[in-house]
Amino acid sequence: MSPLEHRLSRWLRLYPADRREEMLGVLLATAGPGQERPTVREAADLVGGAVRIRLRREIRSLGGPVWRDAFAVLALVTAALACTALIAYFRDETMLMPKGFITFDVDSGRSYADLFPEPAQVWTMWAPWPLVGALSLLRLRHSAVGLAWAAALSQLPWLAVAQGHYALQTGDVEGNLMWFGVAVLAASALSLSDGLRHALALLGRWRGAALLVGAAMFAYALLGLPAVEDSLPEGHGVVLVRSATISDPIWLPAAGALALMLVACARPRSAYGRRSIAVVLLALSPLLCTLVLWFTSFGTLGSAAGALLIAAFPVLLAIMAGAFAARLRGRRRSTS
Amino acid sequence: MKHRPLQEPTFLILTALAAGPQHGYGIIGDVERISDGRVRLRAGTLYAALDRLTADGLAEIDREDVVEGRLRRYYRLTETGAARLAAEAERLRHNAETATARLRLAGGSA
């Protein structure tokens, strides 16, 4: 194999396998005499062509079974998250205070209680989700989808009644948007997949169990973490001022829970598994972002998570809208 | 059904295939001849276009050969592709005639 052929073969790995061999022949035939490597323009053209082919094929496959399975996994993760939000109803910030103290960041004055964009404490918003999960596990697909959409869309009137204009205030709006997004994602993913029973069958016993353990851990982290029994002074009602650091173990249960959920879904060797990783990562990215920023800077906590929220959820919803459109086209073609 | 105008490389690839089935390297050479050397397709652009054309049903694989140990795939125009190319050629002809007539009119009145 000549150096040029070797280098071209590496570039052609960007392309689907069915294109590589024939393209290699054309590239070698069009190469200049003595040429040992593709020029910058040739390399740029190869990258551009690969992106166009991969993207077009991906868009065409959105209505197919691979994405349907990926959406089933996404439905499982987001429905589990929506169920954990019910825990927020029982949330009591004093539970987050070790020995009556609450840890604050020196600069921003924000406490651990602000770590997550938290779900609104309106139990009617979250109560339907365990039922949605149960219906989907019982393969009552249409009932589960209908209830999921009703639960997701009814969040807005519930918020209006419970919080009024406070729902749109900084500090509350991130949490409300984030959890409304999770609910809409769960309803959309349930609509576009064969449901939670199918997702559990795809993942298998151990991965399914790991995912549910991850969700339970996350719920626990959301409810309140155990007190850090270090050198906190005795006393009551004294506010301890302390900066968050990377060695602060307080974020570990939440980060571990999200990581466990992500790893449980990760099956990079299967086509649906790779797509599952992408969609689950997008769905979890605002929460993961807040955790990463926990030990970097409180100041940018809200804005970075908000930016991800603005970017990640619409991308995910656009993918699902594409899948819906592809299915409609497929149905129209089969009836005509 | 109304179609979007074809991009020039796509139009030239379909034109190259209108004469008969051709493989990738043949199409590159033919497109260069048709366009008087103005358009030199690179492999990435050519195969991105061929991938789209075959997916849209405008072109299809005619046959595969192995020449000197390498796969050579021949593509041909489908009936849909021929109709699309004819419609596009007609659109371009109409536009060109209109432009020429207007220019003559402008030249006459000047």
Listed by start position, the domains of chain B span 8-109
Chain A to chain B Cβ contacts (< 8 Å): 69
**Over its length of 336 residues, how does chain A's per-residue pLDDT go in tens digits?**
788 899 999 999 999 998 998 999 999 988 888 888 889 999 999 999 999 999 999 888 888 899 999 999 999 999 998 888 877 666 555 544 554 444 555 455 555 555 566 677 777 888 899 999 999 999 999 999 999 999 999 988 887 777 777 666 666 666 778 888 889 999 999 999 999 999 999 999 899 899 888 888 887 776 654 444 444 444 444 444 444 444 455 567 777 888 898 888 888 888 888 999 999 988 888 777 776 665 555 444 556 556 666 788 888 999 999 999 988 888 887 776
Q: Are A87 and A217 in contact (CB under 8 A)?
A: no
What is the enclosing helix (H) or strand (E) of A176?
Answer: helix A173-191
Q: Distance between CA B61 and CA B55 in Å, rounded?
A: 11
DSSP per position, A294-322: HTT-STTHHHHHHHHHHHHHHHHHHHHHH
Q: What is the pLDDT of residues B70-85, one digit of tens each?
A: 888 999 999 999 999 9
A32 residue type, one letter: G
Question: Which CATH number among 1.10.287.1080, 1.20.120.1200, 1.50.10.10, 1.10.10.10 corresponds to the domain B8-109?
Answer: 1.10.10.10
- Can you give the pLDDT at residue A117? 65
Q: Distance, in angstroms, between B96 CA and closest chain A CA?
A: 31
Q: Which of B23, B30, B19 is nearest to B9 (CA)?
A: B30
Chain A partners within 8 Å of B55 (Cβ): 56-57, 60
Q: Distance between CA A47 and CA B47 in Å, rounded?
A: 12
Q: Distance between CA B39 and CA B29 in Å, rounded?
A: 10
- Can you give the pLDDT at residue A125? 83
CB contact under 8 A, B47 and A42: no
DSSP state at residue A119: P
CB contact under 8 A, B51 and A42: no
CB contact under 8 A, A46 and B24: no
Q: Are A105 and A167 in contact (CB under 8 A)?
A: no
Query: Which residue from A30, A47, A53 is facing B47, i.e. has the nearest CB?
Result: A53
- DSSP-derived 3-state class of residue B59: strand
Q: Distance, in angstroms, between B90 CA and closest chain A CA?
A: 28
Taking residue A304's Cβ as centre, other Cβ atoms within 10 Å add up to: 17
Query: Which residue from A27, A41, A53 is facing B48, i.e. has the nearest CB?
Result: A53
What pTM did the predictor assign? 0.76
* Cross-strand partners of A185: none
CB contact under 8 A, A45 and B72: no
Which chain A residue has the Cα nearest residue B70?
A: A25
- Phi–psi pair at A221, nearest 5 degrees: -65, -35
- Is ipTM > 0.85 here? yes
In the numeric block, the tokens 């979007």 are attached to B4
Query: Which residue from B45, B55, B71 is facing A25, i.e. has the nearest CB?
Result: B71
Which chain A residue has the Cα nearest residue B65?
A: A22
Query: Which residue from B42, B55, B71 is facing A45, i.e. has the nearest CB?
Result: B42
Q: Which of A180, A55, A291 is nearest to B51 (CA)?
A: A55
Q: Which of A151, A92, A79 is nearest to A118 (CA)?
A: A92
* Torsion region of A264: left, alpha or beta (phi above 0 gives left; psi -120 to 50 gives alpha): alpha
